[in-house]
Structure 1
Amino acid sequence: MKLHADRLEGVNAVFGHGPGEISVNNTVFRHSVIVPWKGDIVAWDADTFEALTPAHFQRIADLKPELVIFGSGPRIRFPAPSLLRPLIERGVGLETMDTGAACRTYNVLAAEGRSVVLAALLPSTTPPGP
């Protein structure tokens, strides 16, 4: 699905998503990614929902967002609270939704100037890299 994001200068935006891929700032990624409101989009070494660990969420917490939008894949799957401890300890909110809805929600919040991070799970079809 192609998205048309209103962009603030220097703020990352999702331009589209589909099965196994996401386009951020017109770069297509075919692996899980962390998209902060500002800064570099990075590969997220979370290949599957079942592989998630607290370390995956620590990496996001280190970005110091006010809110994380977690795209759990093609359907909504809620991570266990034990996985979210790094976010909970910092008082960071987390909303879980399917990855398509997460992309749309991230764009709205980023366009409002919020310090939001999109953590999008995508099935790995290629090695990490832009």
Structure 2
Amino acid sequence: MRMNEVEFDDSRPVDGYGPGFFRVGGEVLKGSVLLLPSGPGLWQGYEDAAPILAAAAEIDVLLVGTGKEIAHPPRAFRGALDAAGIGMEVMASPAACRTYNVLLAEGRRVGAAMLVVE
């Protein structure tokens, strides 16, 4: 089997996660995270849609990590993303981390909003 090293250009992949934190590009972020082309940052949850909406022209899909288990985001959050033309894929945060890295490695225009795994 031939193994290839993945290159992420200037983007920062998710290196790991645990109870209450994510490690993104070697930096530990305590709390929920928002990963956009402008860089990683903390996310205040579903009520904090403004930075996502501001990045609508830079992303084609937003991966929404709902924590340890998959859950439905609130209707208002879904409606705001839909109105902005942002596609959304909902999954548990561990799956969102893996999917984000794969799409990032493919050079896709992806963002992620992930709640911490407790």
Q: TM-score, normalised by structure 1?
A: 0.78
Partner of 1:31: 31
- Counterpart selection for 1:106 from 96, 100, 104: 100
C-alpha distance in structure 2 between counterparts of 1:92 and 1:32, whole Å: 20
**Contact 2:29-2:41 within 8 A present in 1 as well:** no
SS of alignment partner, residue 73 of structure 2: coil
- Counterpart selection for 2:65 from 56, 68, 71: 71
Partner of 2:85: 91
Q: CA RMSD in A?
A: 1.8
SS of alignment partner, residue 49 of structure 2: helix
Identity %: 32
Shift of 1:73: 0.4
Partner of 1:49: none
Structure 1 residues 99 and 123: CA distance shift in structure 2, 3 A: closer
Q: Once superposed, which parts of structure 1, at least 4 consecutive aligned residues long, lie more than 3 Å away?
A: none
Partner of 1:116: 110
**Contact 2:68-2:117 within 8 A present in 1 as well:** no
**Contact 1:68-1:92 within 8 A present in 2 as well:** yes
C-alpha distance in structure 1 between counterparts of 2:25 and 2:96, whole Å: 16
Q: Which of the two has greater strand per residue?
A: 2
Show structure 2 runs of 5+ residues with no match: none
C-alpha distance in structure 2 between counterparts of 1:123 and 1:17, whole Å: 8
- Counterpart selection for 2:75 from 75, 81, 96: 81
SS of alignment partner, residue 82 of structure 1: helix
Q: TM-score, normalised by structure 2?
A: 0.85
Alignment deviations for residues 23-69 of structure 1 (CA, whole Å, 9 cap, x no partner): 10000111111011x322111122xxxxx33xx22321211210000
Shift of 1:123: 6.5
